[in-house]
Amino acid sequence: MSKPKTKIMGRPRIEIDFEQFEKLCNYQATIGEIASWFNMSVDTLEERIREKFGCTFSAYTQRHKDMGKISVRRKQFSEAMKGNTTMLIHLGKNYLEQFDRNKIESDNTNKNVEVSYEDYIKTLGDN
């Protein structure tokens, strides 16, 4: 007498479109966001990544996050070169260490200066 086939219980396997997965990684989506995109749990997504790539989500996505940053940086430089003044200032501050500086001079830099709210209000009345 043959044994009856047992029915496999549980949800059907959710497959991942890894091309779409890579795009989401380039956009620096979190593991939770990507899991939601594919309508699966974070644990299931981690399992699929280990099966496909033999590593964790974090290890796999680091390269894609870096590629995403390069894309943003490329666009920033492109906009700056088109004359976008805001972007030129941003890049100058971040890459060329150009900052707006307010120079404060003191003959003793080891003293703490305390200013109360009341003192601040009084200075407003002096103007």
pLDDT tens-digit map of 16-38: 999 999 889 888 899 999 999 99
Residue 63 is assigned to a structural domain of this protein: yes
Q: What is the Cα–Cα distance from 108 to 113, expressed in whole angstroms?
A: 11
Residue 9 has pLDDT above 80, yes or no: no
Residue 123 is assigned to a structural domain of this protein: no
Residue 127 has pLDDT above 60, yes or no: no
Residue 106 is assigned to a structural domain of this protein: no
pLDDT band, very low/low/confident/very high, at 43 (cuts 50, 70, 90): very high
Residue 37 is assigned to a structural domain of this protein: yes
Residue 74 is assigned to a structural domain of this protein: yes
Q: What is the pLDDT of residue 46?
A: 95
Q: What is the pLDDT of residue 105?
A: 64
Locus of tokens 């099966």: 51
For the stretch 51-96, pLDDT in tens is: 999 999 999 988 777 777 788 888 888 988 898 888 888 888 887 7
Residue 105 is assigned to a structural domain of this protein: no
For residue 96, give the DSSP letter: S
Dihedral sign for Cα 68, 72, 77, 78, please.
positive
Q: What are the φ and ψ backbone dihedral angles of 8, each rounded to 5 degrees? A: -80, 125
Residue 117 has pLDDT above 80, yes or no: no
Q: What is the Cα–Cα distance from 95 to 114, expressed in whole angstroms?
A: 35
Total tally of structural domains belonging to the chain: 1
Summarize the confidence of residues 105-114 as an average pLDDT. Answer: 64
Instruction: Return the exposure string of 6-22: e unless at least 16 CB atoms fall within 10 Å of the residue's CB, then b.
Output: eeeeeeeeeebeeeebe
Q: What is the Cα–Cα distance from 41 to 38, expressed in whole angstroms?
A: 9
Residue 10 is assigned to a structural domain of this protein: no
Q: What is the pLDDT of residue 56?
A: 93
Q: What is the Cα–Cα distance from 112 to 122, expressed in whole angstroms?
A: 20
Residue 49 has pLDDT above 60, yes or no: yes
Range of the domain at 43: 18-100
